[in-house]
Structure 1
Amino acid sequence: MLIRSADLDAIWAGRVDILFRRWTRPTVKTGGTLVTAKGVLAIDAVDVVTLAAVSTDDLRRAGFADLAALETWLDKGKPGALHRIQVRPGEADPRIALRESMDDLDAVEPALARLDARGAWTEQMLLLIEAYPGRLAQSLADEVGLDKLKLKAKVRQLKALGLTESLEIGYRLAPRGAALLARRRSIASA
């Protein structure tokens, strides 16, 4: 489930604790979590509702002035049943601390080797992000001849290892990713 940055800010500030989505099949479940740019989001409830069942309190808690504002916003979304998702900030994103950690860089290499097992791509992606921080994902995908969604999936795998981080637009190497590349360069030049 994608959540706009402004909505994440409102959730962490305590102004929003309900989200609405139209889904043919929910992408989150009650009791689950979702890792976001702000941290881990706890999913307290996921319910199918009708527009008629959406209360004034629901609208306020979702940051909408009225039902017409919600309907206008939903018209931009996908078809499917309307879902009301109750959320709250959970724990801090564990990837944030990992991005700064220079411990166990040796353990990253086997993880990258596993990702490269069906075709080497991790170093190319790290070098691409290093060369073009903040560049649109589509532009990066075009640079390496990948579909944008496939590129994003690869970057998420690197992010899970603490090597990259998302920006408002594009990505950049995390300090951990920069240290890994520097170490590789040092070994190659030795």
Structure 2
Amino acid sequence: MLLPVKVAHGVRDGTVSLAYRRWRRQDVEPGRVFTTVAGLVRVEDVAVVDPAAITDADALAAGWPDADRLRARLAGEESFPTYRVRLAWAGEDPRIALRESADLTDDDVAELDRRLERLDRAAAHGPWTLAYLRMIGERPEVRAPDLAASVGRETAPFKIDVRKLKNLGLTTSHAVGYSLSPRGAAYLERTRR
């Protein structure tokens, strides 16, 4: 479940506790935790609701100024059910601590080697992980479309690949572009790949 930046930060600071979505069928289950720009968010409850029953107080709890604007912005086919999703902040993004951990053991390096080699083998466009890490290290905070073009890739699939590196704690995302995390820099210094 994707949350806009403002809503994710609202869940974190407690000003947002609801989200409304139109889905063909329920897209998330209670108890699921997902990563947002503001940290981890947990789905507390999911229920089908009548959009006409959404109150201004409900809209405020979802980050909207009033119910009419919320209903007007509900995306999806109008015949689909409307779901009220109750949300709660579940803690910091664990990737933050991971990317700061630059004191890598030999086992850490071997495990990263194994995981990156697996990503390389699975890629239809060939091995990419070390090249992307080196490029990001040499060109920090450069726009993703520019980085993607430099390796002959479309922006969207390029960003998906970089997200895989971020999930391993090797890169950091910025308002524009990426940089190597301390963990990523340490890995590049230690790997023998």
Query: What is the TM-score when the length of structure 2 is the normalising length?
Result: 0.82
Q: Does 1:177 align with 2:184?
A: yes
Contact residue 19 and residue 84 of structure 1 kept, 8 A: yes
Query: Following the alignment from structure 2 to structure 1, what is the Cα–Cα distance between the partners of residues 111 and 24?
Result: 40
Quote the residue 1:164 is aligned against: 171
* Cα gap change, 1:145 to 1:29, in 2 (>3 Å): farther
* Cα gap change, 1:129 to 1:66, in 2 (>3 Å): same
Query: Following the alignment from structure 1 to structure 2, what is the Cα–Cα distance between the partners of residues 144 and 48?
Result: 45
Query: Following the alignment from structure 2 to structure 1, what is the Cα–Cα distance between the partners of residues 138 and 24?
Result: 39
Quote the residue 2:37 is aligned against: 37
Query: Following the alignment from structure 2 to structure 1, what is the Cα–Cα distance between the partners of residues 25 and 110?
Result: 40
Query: Following the alignment from structure 1 to structure 2, what is the Cα–Cα distance between the partners of residues 146 and 28?
Result: 32
- Aligned-pair CA distance for 1:34: 0.4
Unaligned runs of 5+ in 2: none
The count of aligned residue pairs is: 184
Quote the residue 2:56 is aligned against: 56
Query: Following the alignment from structure 1 to structure 2, what is the Cα–Cα distance between the partners of residues 62 and 13?
Result: 13
- Aligned-pair CA distance for 1:101: 1.0
Match of 1:121 among 116, 128, 136: 128
Contact residue 120 and residue 128 of structure 2 kept, 8 A: yes
Unaligned runs of 5+ in 1: none
Once the two structures are superposed, the pairs formed by residues 126-137 of structure 1 within 5 Å of their partners are 126-137=133-144
Partner SS, residue 96 of structure 1: helix
Once the two structures are superposed, the pairs formed by residues 1-40 of structure 1 within 5 Å of their partners are 1-40=1-40
1:63-96 CA-partner distances (Å, limit 9, x unpaired): 212122213433xx44454322111111322111
1:21-78 CA-partner distances (Å, limit 9, x unpaired): 333455432211101222211111223333212123311211212122213433xx44
Q: Which runs of 4+ in 1 moved over 6 A?
A: none
Partner SS, residue 90 of structure 1: strand
Identity %: 38
Once the two structures are superposed, the pairs formed by residues 48-127 of structure 1 within 5 Å of their partners are 48-74=48-74, 77-79=75-77, 80-102=80-102, 103=104, 104-118=108-122, 119-127=126-134
- Across the aligned residues of Structure 1 and Structure 2, the Cα RMSD in angstroms comes to 2.3
Contact residue 37 and residue 166 of structure 1 kept, 8 A: no
* Cα gap change, 1:182 to 1:41, in 2 (>3 Å): same
